[in-house]
Amino acid sequence: MDAFLEKFGEFLPGLRWLNLGGGHHITRPGYDIPRLVRVVRRLREEYGLEIYLEPGEAVVLNAGYLVAEVLEVVKNGVDIAILDASAACHMPDVLEMPYRPPVRGAGLPGEKPYSYRLAGPTCLAGDVIGDYSFDEPLVPGSRVVLEDMALYTMVKTNTFNGMPLPAIAYRDGAGEIWTVKEFGYSDFKGRLS
């Protein structure tokens, strides 16, 4: 806050509102909510501002899974598991931020006996999700569950290189899964017109 006020404080008296943006993980365990409240109160009281937060990410933090299947495993200096999911198409935040999504049951490279670079099947050389290790070897047909995928994966997907969009499903409290939406060629074609 001090750095913000030092650089922008002179402009605050002429404003009616201030948007503090997104990325506030107010639902994350350990997030300092009392500090956030102090910052918002200070800006309201000292400058008479109406304060906006965009906690959209907090609403979906640690929510949503992208279930991928291993198509094949190749060796190119490291073992590379080619998935039917793509960083470029289904989780562009991995390439843009960078963001390393948690993978259920996986560890850091070398932490568990079998290490792999998870990659997508597109022609993009950088279609790489990241390096992970597993208790068991990955083989074609193995399922890989990428967690915390609701934040950007749901809104930034694309069909580059003909990659289909993943179906959207809902899992209820009893564990039953309901398909909400499936995508096909008409969705791809509709994006082009």
Tokens of 31: 């997030």
Q: According to the model, what pLDDT value does residue 21 have? A: 81
- Note the pLDDT of residue 80: 98
- Per DSSP, the chain holds a count of helices (H) and strands (E) of 6, 9
Residue boundaries of the structural domains of the chain: 2-59, 65-163
Mean pLDDT per 10-residue section of the chain, whose length is 193 residues: 93 93 79 92 95 79 88 96 94 85 96 98 93 98 92 78 88 92 87 78
Q: Which CATH architecture has domain 65-163?
A: Beta Barrel (2.40)
Q: How far apart are CA 73 and CA 105, in angstroms?
A: 19
List CB contacts of 162: < 8 A, sequence separation 6 or more: 188
Between CA 72 and CA 90 the distance in angstroms is 19
The pLDDT assigned to 132 comes to 98
Q: Among 149, 57, 44, 159, which Cα is nearest to 104's?
A: 149
Measuring CA to CA, how many Å separate 115 from each of 31, 78, 81, 132? 32, 8, 10, 6
